[in-house]
Chain A
Amino acid sequence: MNKMRRSGDNNMEYYNPEGLLSYLKENLPESILDSRIDSKKAGVKQEEFHNIWIEVKREKFRDTVKLLMNLQYPHIAIIAGNDTGQSIDLIYLFSIFYGEKFKEISLNVKVSLDRENPSIRSISDLIPGAQTTEREIKEMLGVEFVGLPDMHNIFLPYDFPKDIFPLRKGQKGLDELVQQESEGDKN
């Protein structure tokens, strides 16, 4: 199960980006919709570091995280959300294989959700550190995270209207809210 290996552990098996990608593809057949490896060079010595971008099916996202947990406890940095107008895309920014120079791979997993009814299983039972970012996405973009233990707003006020999601494109009602607030201040 969870491999909370000490970084620098001798048993630790590091994958190169191609290896990590084929590991995921083998274990998630027909679930990875899109993938690319983005390698950049750094410094005068021009050594390479890697970003992997993949898009997985919504139903298989949880399995993807579980697969990563077999390798090393994945670090979740943040979820970036994007309201494209047709769908709500979540880009989970993970990093894995930390602990050794140039071994770490940034794994950016995109999941596309239905804009009318955006919903995905929470991963905060697997990685409790994901709670903050899931709560932020929930209130800012209106994505439902099934199984999230704390449903309260985290950055927005507790009494913020439940049907307004500030980071959705073309969201109506924000101007009125600002208006109300500033009138409230005057009184």
Chain B
Amino acid sequence: MSKSTAYKVPIGPIHPSLEEPMTFNFEIAGERIQSVDLAPGDNHRGIEFMGRNRNIVQIIYLAERICGICSASHPFAFCRAVENAAGIEVPPRAEYIRVIIAELERIHSHILWAGVAAHELGFDSVLYLSWKVREEVMDLLEIITGNRVNYGMFMIGGVRRDITEQQIPRIRKTIEYYKDVYQKLEDVFLDDPSIAVRTKNVGVLTYEDALRLASVGPTTRASGVKKDVRQDQPYSAYADLDIKAITPDIHTGEVNGDVYDRIIVRVLEVLQSVQIVEYCLNHLPEGEILSEPKIAKLLANLKKAKGEGVGRHEAPRGEVIHYVKLNELENPEVWKARAPTYNNLMSWVPMLQNQEVADIPIVIASIDPCIGCMDRVTLTDSETYKQQVLTREELRQLSIEKTRRMLK
């Protein structure tokens, strides 16, 4: 057998935690990845097709179920698209409540991601501790909205539930909690040498590639592209705030575009979100929360509406964008929804090139695709067709062993 035998390593296709199960077909020489081919679509649910048979209000709930973690982001973007198409104004109080929910979601999403990243590297105690920290915001979301996920807060022209006077001290308690705990997050994820040693110069995405591949969210910001819808084209309460896109040079003075930089961006964004929630709470305007509280009347108005609109929102993983075309029908003529992972797919290709097999889990996890879908990995010897199946657990074990080796 020649030494240059390339092993074909398909990873995927499904993992229950992923909204878009993926297959990765790797070609591997020794420990190095030579090429990767992506094959998503194993769980394409045809949501846009389903939307054709639903009215606008029903679609809000469908949009909410595109993703369990971004369950505020999709209805946020969809409602904005419809409001832009039909020319509906949203009361200021509702704009602030929307942003509070969206930012609370970002806090829980980023901390969830940080925990999973630690898990992939073999620091399970960090996983448990960070998810314990995450519970605080999950409890708060449950108190405000009634649900831990799929909050059901968004409605065309506003929000469905108000934030009451009694809830405000509880929200402040959470803000204080995260301010206290934030330094620890920084200590563990940014100042600890063992995470740095496994993530620095791993899975690099250059500035140019981030632009070329149209990547979004923390993935693109970690490569130095200052792109954040909340900054570039602010909407809702974000327009009143002075938000700056967070890039890793704020913390380290340089941009490398590696996995470590993606950790920096997400950790810093947790603090940014806490500050946004605090600002919104301090400046929460009085007034209505819905422009049209009667759903039947709202639907009748929408049935007369004609026009097209784009709704954008900076979700935890990047920009969510919805396009809606209304044409005096009960259902929208077109509804197009795009989740951030869709645009970040391609950035895996340069990131994974020339990496080691043991780095696959953390590089795949680093764009936060609802985490790596590595159910099983098949190693195939291309000459003998002998198959060796690696379970997700074994692959993770490779990752852990590498961490241990490097710490020795």
A residues sitting closer than 8 Å to B (CB atoms) are 4, 6-8, 38, 40, 42-45, 47, 49, 51, 53, 73, 75-78, 80-82, 91, 93, 95, 97-106, 108, 127-133, 153-157, 166-167
Contacts and interface: CB of A to CB of B under 8 A. Distances in A.
A99 B338 contact: no
B282 to A, nearest CB: 13
Contact of A40 (B84, B243, B308, B346): B84
Interface of B: 39-41, 44, 46, 48-49, 84, 92, 95, 207-208, 211-216, 224-227, 229, 231-240, 242-243, 245, 283, 285, 308-310, 312, 319, 321, 323, 325, 333-334, 336, 338, 342-343, 345-346
A7 B323 contact: no
Nearest to B232: A104
Contacts of A78: 321, 323, 336, 338, 342
Task: Give the dominant DSSP class at B's interface.
Answer: mixed
A4 B207 contact: yes
Contacts of B224: 6
Nearest to B283: A44
A101 B242 contact: yes
A157 B234 CA distance: 39
Most buried by B among A6, A127, A132: A132
8 contacts: A7-B225, A44-B239, A73-B211, A82-B333, A100-B231, A108-B323, A166-B46, A167-B48
Nearest to A106: B310
B214 A130 contact: yes
Given A132-B345, A156-B44, A106 B214 contact: no
Nearest to A154: B41
A43 B213 contact: no
Nearest to A89: B334
Contact of B310 (A51, A97, A101, A130): A51
Contacts of B44: 155-156
A153 B321 CA distance: 23
Contacts of B216: 75
A101 B232 contact: yes
Nearest to A38: B84
A100 B321 contact: no
B253 to A, nearest CB: 15
A77 B207 contact: no
Contacts of A132: 342-343, 345-346
A106 B313 CA distance: 13
A131 B343 CA distance: 10
Nearest to B39: A154
B96 to A, nearest CB: 9
A128 B213 contact: yes
A49 B227 contact: no
A41 B214 CA distance: 27
Contacts of B231: 100-101
B333 A99 contact: no
Contacts of A42: 234-236, 238-239
Given A82-B333, A155-B44, 10 more contacts: A6-B207, A7-B226, A43-B238, A44-B237, A44-B283, A49-B233, A101-B234, A102-B233, A106-B233, A130-B214
Contacts of B336: 78, 80-81
A98 to B, nearest CB: 4
A168 B312 CA distance: 25
Nearest to B240: A43
A53 B307 CA distance: 11
Nearest to A150: B37
Contact of B343 (A77, A104, A156, A167): A77
A95 B232 contact: yes
Contacts of A102: 232-234, 239
Contacts of A75: 211, 214, 216, 227
B308 A53 contact: yes
B181 to A, nearest CB: 30
Contacts of A153: 41
Among A7, A38, A133, find the residue whose CB has the most chain B CB atoms closer than 10 A: A7
A93 B8 CA distance: 37
Nearest to A129: B214
Contacts of A45: 239-240
Contact of A154 (B40, B84, B208, B240): B40
B334 A82 contact: yes
Nearest to A139: B41
A44 B226 contact: no
A108 B310 contact: yes
Nearest to A166: B49
A13 B354 CA distance: 37
Nearest to B349: A128
A54 B366 CA distance: 37
Among A38, A73, A101, A105, chain B packs the most CB atoms within 10 A around the CB of A101
